[in-house]
Amino acid sequence: MDDKCLKGRKLKILIIANSKVVFGKEIKSELISKDFDVNLLDFESLTLYDKNHCENDRYSSFFIKFKSIPKLSMFFRMWYIKKVIQENGFNIVNIHMSRWFYLIILPWLTRQRFIVTFYGSDFYRTSGFIKKIQTNLYKKADAITFTNPLTKNSFLKYYKDFDSKSYVCRFGLKTLDFIDKNRKIDKKFLRESLGYNKEKIVITCGHNSTKEQQHDKIIDNILKLPTELLDKIQFIFPMTYGNNFNKERVENILKQTNLDYIVLEEFLYGDDNANIKLASDIMINILETDSFSGSMQEFLYANNIIITGSWLPYEVFDDAGVEYIKIDNIDKLSFKLAELINSDIKIYDTLKNQKIISELSLWDNTIESWVDIYK
C-alpha cells in the first residue's frame, strides 16, 4: 500500500511471538498506547489476540489437528500463519525469533512491511548451514532488530550486507513497574506468601526450564558446598516455561538430593513475577549463550546479587556500570557461592543497579526506537 494511503489511519501490525514470553505481550501493549492497531499471534498455538486482547481461536482450532504430526507440523504451522496474514489486512508483520521455516511463506511476509526481531539465541545457537539458508529472509526484510549492539555486530560480521536495515531496539520490562510497586513490602511477608523459607538465604537458579540454563551443572556445583552452608540456603528453580522434558529431568535430579528447594511451575506475570525477584537474595545466570537477559535485569532491579558467566555478551551492562559477579568457568560456581555466603552479603551495593536498569529497560526509555521502526 502506498505511504500516502496509510496517512490518517492507524497502522495495523501483526507480531508473531510466543505469548508466554513477556516481550511480545508487552510491546503489543506499549504500541497500542502509542495509537497503533496491534495483533499478537502466538507462535506455538496460533491463537490470535487483537488490540482489545480478545482471543481468536479460529486458526488454532484448525492447526491443533496437525500440531502433533512429526516433522510436518511446522509446515502446517506456516500454512496457517500465511492464512492469518492473507485474511487480516496487516500493514506490518514483525516476526520475533528468526526461524528458517519462515522462508516457506516469504512471498506472503513481504507483501507488507516485514521486520525480523532477534532475541539473541536465535542467532548464537543457529548452525552455519541454517544461517546460510536464512540469508534470503534478511535480504527481503525491511528492517532487522537486535536487543543489543554486540548481537547486531556479530550478525553483521557474519552477513556483512545488511547494515543499512539493522537497528538496536531494546525491549522494556513491565515487571520493573511491579517491582517498584511492591518494593516496600516486607521481604519475610513476600516469602511467606510464596511458600519460601523466611530466614534462609534464597538463591534463584536460572529463569526457565530450557537446557541452556545448565541446571544440571548448577546442581553439581551446589552439591559441592559443605553441609553447614547448604543448611543456610533455599534454592528456587523457576520452570514456568521452556522445555517440559528438561523440567522433568531436572526435577528428577533434585529429588535425589537433600537440598531445600522449590520448583516454580505456574507461569508468572505482574505482581507474582515481581515478587519472586524481590523475595530472592542471589540469582545464578550462567546460560550457554544469551543476548540481553530480561529476567536477570529484573533480579538486578530487585537488588539481587547476580552470579553470571563472563562469556555472556553483557557489554551493555558493563559499559553502563552494572555491578555483578562474573565467573570464567561454570566449575568455579561452587567456590564463588561459598565465598559469597561466607561473607556478609549485605555489604554488596546493589542499589546503584536500580538506576542503571531503569535507564536501560523501562518502557518509557525504550519504546520510541520501536515506534521509529514501525513508522
Q: What is the pLDDT of residue 6?
A: 46
Does 38 share its domain with 165?
Answer: yes
Q: What is the pLDDT of residue 21?
A: 81
* Domain with 129 in it: 8-169
Q: What is the pLDDT of residue 134?
A: 97
Cβ-contact 27, 117 below 8 angstroms: no
Last residue of a domain, one of 134, 169, 204: 169
Does 61 share its domain with 135?
Answer: yes
Does 200 share its domain with 253?
Answer: yes
In angstroms, rounded to a whole number, what is the distance separating the alpha carbons of residues 198 and 192? Answer: 6
Residue 371 lies in a domain: no
> Which pTM does this prediction carry?
0.80
Q: What is the pLDDT of residue 79?
A: 96
In angstroms, rounded to a whole number, what is the distance separating the alpha carbons of residues 241 and 229? Answer: 30
Residue 346 lies in a domain: yes
Tens place of pLDDT for every residue, the chain, 375 residues?
444 444 556 899 999 999 888 889 999 999 999 999 999 999 999 999 999 989 999 999 999 989 889 889 999 999 999 999 999 999 999 999 999 999 999 999 999 999 999 998 899 889 999 999 999 999 999 999 999 888 999 999 999 889 999 999 999 999 999 999 999 999 999 999 999 999 999 999 999 999 999 999 999 999 999 999 999 999 999 999 889 999 999 999 999 999 999 999 998 889 999 999 999 999 999 998 776 678 999 999 999 999 999 999 888 899 999 999 999 999 999 999 999 999 876 667 788 899 999 999 999 999 999 999 998
In the numeric block, the cell 548464537 is attached to: 124
Residue 368 lies in a domain: no
206: CATH: 3.40.50.2000
Does 217 share its domain with 289?
Answer: yes
Does 226 share its domain with 191?
Answer: yes
Structurally, how many domains does the chain consist of? 2
Last residue of a domain, one of 169, 201, 236: 169
> Residue 177: which H helix or E strand, with range?
helix 175-182
Does 18 share its domain with 110?
Answer: yes
Does 49 share its domain with 160?
Answer: yes
Last residue of a domain, one of 129, 154, 169: 169
Q: What is the pLDDT of residue 7?
A: 52
First to last CA, the chain: 13
Does 200 share its domain with 226?
Answer: yes
- Residue type, position 272, single letter: D
